[in-house]
Structure formats: structure tokens, C-alpha cells
Amino acid sequence: MVDDTKNSDFFSDSELTPQEPRVPDPAAGPESGSAGSQHGLDSIVEEFLIESHEGLDQLDRDLVKLEQDPSDPGLLSGIFRAVHTVKGTCGFFGYSKLESIAHVGENLLSKMRDGQLIFNQMIASELLAMVDAVRQILSSIETTGNEGDVDYSELVETLTRLNQGEYLASSSLVEPSSSTEQAGAAVDESMADIVDEFLIESYENLDQLDRDLVELEKAPGDENLLASIFRTIHTIKGTCGFLGLVKLETVSHVGETLLSKMRDGELIFNREIASALLTLVDAIRQILSSIEVSGREGDADYTELVKTLESMVIDDSVSISPPPDREDLKSDERRISIERRNSGDRRITSEAYGEIERRASSDRRTEVRGRRTVDSSIRVDVGLLDGLMNLVGELVLARNQILQFTESSTDSKFAASSQTLNLITSELQERVMKTRLQPIRNIWDKFPRVVRDLALSCGKKVRLEMTGKETELDKTLIEAIKDPLTHIVRNAVDHGIGSPEERERGGKNPEGLLVLKAYHEGGMVNIDVCDDGGGIDPKMLRAKALAKDLVTEKQAERMSEREMMNLIFLPGFSTAAAITNVSGRGVGMDVVKTNIEKIGGTVDVQSTVGQGTTLKVKIPLTLAIVPALIITCAGNRYAIPQASLVELVRLEGDKAQNGIEMIHDVPVYRLRGNLLPLVELHSELNVPAPENKEIVNLVIVQADDRQFGLIVEGVNDTEEIVVKPLGKQLSGISVYSGATIMGDGKVALILDVMGISKKARLIASSRLETKEDVEKKTASRDDQQTLLIFGIGTQGRMAIPLSKVTRLEEIKRDSIERSGEQDVVQYRGEIMPLIFLSSVFGNREGKSEKDLMPTIVYTSLGRSVGLVVDEIVDIVKESISVKRDYKKEGVAGSVVARGRVTDLLDYEGVIRKVDSSFFEETVEADVKLLSSAR
């Protein structure tokens, strides 16, 4: 309904078209009917209309400005360019009327540009009249699909007159030389803007070219694509000719010539031409970037490329004259467009006649849509959106503060209005976030070219399918995943998909299939990259990793298939047999993974041998505002992003005491039958432990594909937090991903679950440690040893590494027997010698009166010895700093354990003293024992 009203509004407002607007007259002639009726050209026409409308508005303004300041070469150039673009495009579409008007305008302008004519009021009026005429024709095209039959010959005549004779009379002729000089001097300043604009526009155009060329290769007969490509190159050529970029113009000119041949059906599009044209696009891009950087076209030599392209033109068409010189460009262009009208269009039209009836009705819709696109979208500077986003962030914080006040207030009116504020803020936040969302298409669109080039260079055939192009995500994230995604795609083509012969041998379609899928799921954006190649053999990965010393054999043995798969993310890992241009250097997937994790995403690989590989990338929608759980630890609040949260467990009373069990020094919790490793947040952060042991709060989180429980002091609430970066002094601390401001204005740190799990060395089981890691870890375990502390006689306390203790026994005094000089005891069917440590160290015979004597059993190579002590004191974890200031028999050194200096028992010395042969054949066994203890 709304649309209908708008429609009628539109028609009543429009002051155009005396003729029947809805049904195009078939007799209107081939040229006028052709463009509107050619089925697929619609979108191009629409685009052209939008662009032209914008251009015309600009023209209006510029002309008026130029009238005030006739000597401004920047303005003049802008006008010239706009008119030229309109002319070029409409010539191509076969709008002859439009073209002839624009053409005389252009001629006039070029005279002025060259300093042969000076801008005056009369010229201004005529040019403005021309703009109006162009606008009128455009409107007519918009509504009816043809140019309308208003007669503009008078206008054309006036303009031509101005161009040729009138200027002599009006004495506005000036000395060409002086004015050109003047213009030249001013060009530098005012040209900069135009050049900038030209660059931006051209880059966009080039991306479009890339896509279109690849498409065209697949469907060489597609007229629309060809038209679009032609138009793009023509625009670039026209503009750079005007800006005096000779090299660029030469290069694009040959491309244009080649394309025009194809358009006229004299040349057939093939792979060579596609490659040559793509090279051309690259060359143009190169020149553009050189212009951007240095303001010049650069010294690269493109004559080769030009020659190749020229030879293509000449080879297949004898009848056509050689490519014209630069000076001839103007006339040549005209010739092309005329040719087109004469030959090409007739063909198109004859095909299209049948469609005219059907199109007539839909034309109206098209025209309305076209107009609306002009009105309904604007270009906004990204900086502005960023600023807006920041402000919304602040607003969210202020909202949070007010909501906090609301809780303590009883005023119902206040509560109601703060509730409204709450709703509006949330809505605003969502909307503003949406303005920053961009379809993933923006990065995907370059993949067809990437895949095509790569497939060609590897001699493969790859078809690329993309679904979910419109899936949106935050602009910053789009930027961030661009490179990782490109890498994954390249990998898939290079390693994933085999050569056509290989594939045929495997009974597959010789053409490989690469599918990109994007979709929203659970508040995350999922991107899948699937190939139907040979897949990855996990065992092969393992063997490779072993060969490269990236994992130890022990680790390799225990690996699950999934872990083997994840080996590809290890730094330094590469499966490529040979290093190619593209990949195989072993840097890649680990960088991909790191980069994706940096933005809070995950990447996972699934593969079936012989069927293909899928890489699943998951990334959050946005980074700026995230929901998070607020927890406390040692009086400070911390935020845990909800994305990594799994569940909360609260243990009270008995459960708090017994629910958490220890395996060595690692706390674990049985969660529904599964053993969950726990990490104490306070010990990871090096802050005091909570005093309240009655209640234990577990926050179950997920890092990578690994779950663990975080023991925290208190769990508050979930809140929307605004993520702010940390200063550079703190950015190196991996357990924080940023900071945020809480409702009360205080700062809270945001915990990075991944960082914590790495710090707690929990991630090891899913992301394999490298060999180096393991070695480092053992090294640190070595200085951090668990010690058994025992007491003997007057010596006081001594310690022995717990790893050397096989068992602790209490031996009954009356079970002691003597064998020769030695006290022995029957122990597990063997005779075990006993060493009374108190007698080794003590002055007195330290056998206490106790009946049960605590004994440390030390075993080596099946032989045991009992070290009898007076009491077992404690087990502590200390870093051993052996001090050997004094050498005392039986003492290997001393450590500080529990704040007291404790001697370390030289158990080897003591045992050797009693049984000198005890260690002789056991040295090796001892080492084994040690390593297995690790």
C-alpha cells in the first residue's frame, strides 16, 4: 500500500514526459528501445541512472561555483569528468540523444580546459540547460525505458555555436599558452582531490572487474558482464586521459579495444584473453597504488602487456585498423559507440522485441526502485560510525549506572523512565551496531579470482560455490578475518583439491569443488570452507609432526584423531611435500589460528580421507559490546565474556569441603560423572586466596575445545560490557583481553579464558605442547619439587624428594631381624635392609621407644631399602635452591621449606655407605624411574 502511494506521488511530482510513459512504442526505433528492454541490462541501467543522478547534482553545484570562480581548474576538471562519464556510458547503452547532448557539452568543456575558451555566464547557463536536459532524458529513461521525444536540437545547436563561432564574437578567446600555464600551476593543489576521488572509484571498479572477468570466463557469452567490464575500463581510461596519466591510459586503452572487439562479436572470449585482462587489471592497480603513494605512475614498464593485448586484437581480426594513437582517442571513442549503435544494438533489439510487452509492466517497478536507491542510501565516513559506536558504549555504561540507582530507589516513576531509557539504549545499541555490519560478500568477492588464478597456476580445476554471502558481521572483524580466510582458501586449492588426473583416478569429478558457507548460529558467525579433495590423513600428520620434532613420541602415542588433526595448527608444521609459491613454508595455519583467536574466534578442522576437508571458523558478531559474567576475586571484579562461559556450579557445605578432589596438586571436580580440571583464579593471578571456604563457586568455561572450572570467590551478575583496550604497559599480559567500566564507574578487567588456560597449562591436551614446551615444563618441575619432610633425632628436620619415595611404611620394632651387621626386615616377600637415619646423623642411638617406626621405602631396580626416621612431618612443594656452602656427610644440600632451613638427604650417599653395591647396576633403572615419575 505504501509503495502504491509513493508511486503515484512520484508520478504526479515528476514534471516530465509528455508521451505515454508506460508502454514503450516499438516504433520508437532500435536505439531507444534497446537499452530499456534488453532483459539483463536492467541492473546496469539502474546503476547508471543512480550514478548519473548523483553526477548531475554535483554538476549543478560545480557549474554554479565555476561561474563564481571561473579560473578554478579543479572544478572544471570535475565537471568535465562528470560529463564525460555520462557521455561514455550513454554512448555505450545506445542513448543517442543523451550522447549527442553530452558530447557537445564535453567539447565545450574541453575547449575551456585547454584554455581556448573562458567560462562566462552565457556558457554557464547553456551548460546548466544541458544538465537539465540530461536530467530530463534520464527521468524519461527511468520511467519509460527510452529517451523520450523532446527535441533538444536547439540546445545542441547553441552549445555547438558557443563552441565554434560565438567565442570569437564574445571576445572570451584567450592566449592558449598563458592560461594553460596558469592552469598547470593550480592543478597540483586542486587536482589532489580529484585524483583521490579517482583512486577510490577506480579501486572499487577494479574489484568489480576482477569478479566480472572471472564470471565472464565461465559464461563467455554473457553480454551484461561484457558490458559492465567495458564500461568500467572505459571509465578508467576516460578519467586518466583527462588527468594526464598517459601510461594508465595506454594500458587501459588496449584493454578497451580488446573488449570492444569482443563486444562486437569479432573476438571470442577465451582463457588467454581472461588472463591477459586480469594482468591488465593488476597493472592498473599497480599504477594506481603508485599514484597513491608517489603521485606518479611509477616506472614499471607495461609495453609487454600492451603488446600482448594488441596482438590479441590484431590476431583475430584483420579488418580492424590498428589501435589508434592517443590523439585519436576522442574520435575513436565516438566511432566505437556509433558502431555499437549500428551493429550491436540491432542484434540485441531484435532478440529483445519479444520481451518488450512483458517488460513494460515491470519497468515501472524498476524505475521506482532506482529512484529510491538514490534517495535511501548515503555514504558515511567510517570514523563517524566509530565515534557513534563509542558514544553508544558510553551511553550503555551510563544506562548501567542509572539502572543501579533504580534498584535502590523506590520511586516508581523513576523506575519506569529508567526502564524506558534501558529499552531505548538497547535498541540504539543494536541499530548502531548494525550500521557497522557488513556482508561477508565484501571479502568473498575477491575469492573467485584468487581461486581461479591459483587453480590455473597449479593446473587444477576448481569450482567455487558461495552461500550466505549476505551474512553480516562487524567491519573490524571483516578486516580481521580477511587474511586468515584467504589463507584457508588458498590452502584448500593448493593442498586440498588434487589435480584433475588424481581426482579422476579417485573416481571424482575432475573439477574440484570448493564451498564457502557463512551463517549465523548462536550469536556467532560461522564460516565453513569445505573442499572435496583428498582429505587429511591424521596418521600422516602425526608422522610428519614426529619427523619434524614438533611432538614427542609419547605425546604422539596418546593422541586422539582430533588432536592429530589439530596438529596442522602447530607452528612450523607443513604437509606440503614441496615448498611451492603458495604454501608449504610451514607458516600459515598457526598464524590463521592465532589471528582468529585474537578476535575471539575459533577454528576447527574436520576431514575424511578421500572425501574432503572442512575448516570451520567461528567468530563473534561484534567486539565492541559483549555480554559478560562479572565475578569477584580478592576484592576486585573481573568480567568473563559470555561467549566462553558454559555453566556455573556452586558448592556449599559438605560439598565445598569434599567436592573438590586433588590429583597430585591439581584440583578436579566431578561434573556429572566427568572429571573437570579446576584452576584457582586467585593463584593464577597471584592474589590472596578467598577466606570463605564454606562456599565454592565454579565457573565452567570453554577454551578451545577444552572445558575447565575456574574457582572464583564470588559470582555477581551478567552485564553488557563495553570492551576497552588496555594500555601498552599491560597488553602483554595474556590473561586479560581488555578492561571495562562498571556501573559504579570503577574499572574491571576482562579475563581472557584462553590466556588463563594457557597460563595454567590446561590447554595442553587439546592444543599439543611442542617438545620444547615439555622440556621447559620438566625443567621447571625440577626446581619446583615436592618434598617429603621428616624428623630425625637431634638433626631436626630433613627432606627427601617425594619422587624418590616408593612407599611409606610403619615397621614394627619386633619384626626387625639381623642379617650379619645389618638390620633387616621381611618386606613383601623380600629381605629389606633398614637404615636408621637417626644413627647415621645422630650422636645418640636414636631408636625411639615407639613400637611402630615410620620408614621411607626407597626402591631401585627391584631392590628396596628402608630408611627409618623418627617422624613423618609434611609434604611441601618448594623450589629447590641447593646451597652447598658446607659439606656434611649424608646431606646433599639445604632448602628452605615452610620457612625453615631443611637439609636435603643425600640418600644415595647414605645407602651406599651401608650397601656399596646397591646403586651399581641400578643407575640406569634410576633414570627410568625418574622419567616415568614425570
Partner 1 sequence: MAVEKQFCTFTLNGYLFGIEVLAVQEVFRYQEMTSVPLAPPEVRGLINLRGQIITAIDLRSRLNFEPLPGHRLPMNVVVRNGKEATSLLVDAIGDVLNLPLGAYEPPPENLNETIRDLVQGVYKLRDKLMLVLDVDKLVGMDSGNEPIPDALVSAGE
Q: Applying CB under 8 A, which residues contact partner 1? A: 393-394, 397, 634, 636-637, 685-687, 724, 726-730, 733, 735-736, 739-741, 745-749
Tell me how far apart the alpha carbons of residues 612 and 462 are, in angstroms, rounded to a whole number: 13
Tell me how far apart the alpha carbons of residues 129 and 150 are, in angstroms, rounded to a whole number: 14
Least spacing, CB of residue 730 vs partner 1, in Å: 6
Least spacing, CB of residue 741 vs partner 1, in Å: 5
Can you name the residues that pair with 636 across neighbouring β-strands? 633
Burial label for 153, CB within 10 Å (0-12, 13-18, 19+), is exposed
Tell me how far apart the alpha carbons of residues 705 and 287 are, in angstroms, rounded to a whole number: 47
Give the nearer residue to partner 1 in terms of CB position, either 278 or 742. 742
Least spacing, CB of residue 292 vs partner 1, in Å: 24
Least spacing, CB of residue 512 vs partner 1, in Å: 46
- Cα 661 to chain centroid, rounded: 42
Can you name the residues that pair with 645 across neighbouring β-strands? 701
User: What one-letter code names the amino acid at 837?
Assistant: L
Least spacing, CB of residue 758 vs partner 1, in Å: 13
How far is the CA of 119 from the CAs of 71, 123, 133, 163, in angstroms?
8, 6, 20, 11
3-class state of residue 534 by DSSP:
coil
Sequence-distant (≥ 6) Cβ neighbours of residue 928 within 8 angstroms: none
Least spacing, CB of residue 881 vs partner 1, in Å: 18
Sequence-distant (≥ 6) Cβ neighbours of residue 781 within 8 angstroms: 934
Give the nearer residue to partner 1 in terms of CB position, either 405 or 414. 405
Least spacing, CB of residue 390 vs partner 1, in Å: 8
Least spacing, CB of residue 688 vs partner 1, in Å: 10
3-class state of residue 727 by DSSP:
coil
Entry field: residues in the chain = 934
Least spacing, CB of residue 389 vs partner 1, in Å: 13
Give the nearer residue to partner 1 in terms of CB position, either 48 or 736. 736
Give the nearer residue to partner 1 in terms of CB position, either 747 or 933. 747
Least spacing, CB of residue 627 vs partner 1, in Å: 19
Least spacing, CB of residue 729 vs partner 1, in Å: 4
* Cell numbers linked to 320: 580492424
Give the nearer residue to partner 1 in terms of CB position, either 740 or 770. 740
* Cell numbers linked to 578: 614441496
Sequence-distant (≥ 6) Cβ neighbours of residue 127 within 8 angstroms: 63, 79, 105, 108, 109, 159
Q: ∠ CA(374), CA(378), CA(381), 5° rounding? A: 155
First-residue to last-residue Cα distance in the chain = 77
Give the nearer residue to partner 1 in terms of CB position, either 726 or 925. 726
Give the nearer residue to partner 1 in terms of CB position, either 135 or 759. 759
Q: Are 104 and 166 within 8 A, CB to CB?
A: no
Give the nearer residue to partner 1 in terms of CB position, either 636 or 766. 636
Give the nearer residue to partner 1 in terms of CB position, either 404 or 438. 404
Tell me how far apart the alpha carbons of residues 298 and 814 are, in angstroms, rounded to a whole number: 100
Question: Could you tell me where the DSSP H helices lie in 617-733?
Answer: 653-658, 681-684
Question: Could you tell me where the DSSP H helices lie in 498-559?
Answer: 500-505, 538-547, 553-558
Give the nearer residue to partner 1 in terms of CB position, either 244 or 745. 745
Helix axes 30-37, 96-113, angle to 10 degrees: 100
Give the nearer residue to partner 1 in terms of CB position, either 338 or 382. 382
The Cα diameter of the chain in Å comes to 140
Least spacing, CB of residue 392 vs partner 1, in Å: 12
Tell me how far apart the alpha carbons of residues 227 and 681 are, in angstroms, rounded to a whole number: 63
Give the nearer residue to partner 1 in terms of CB position, either 5 or 729. 729
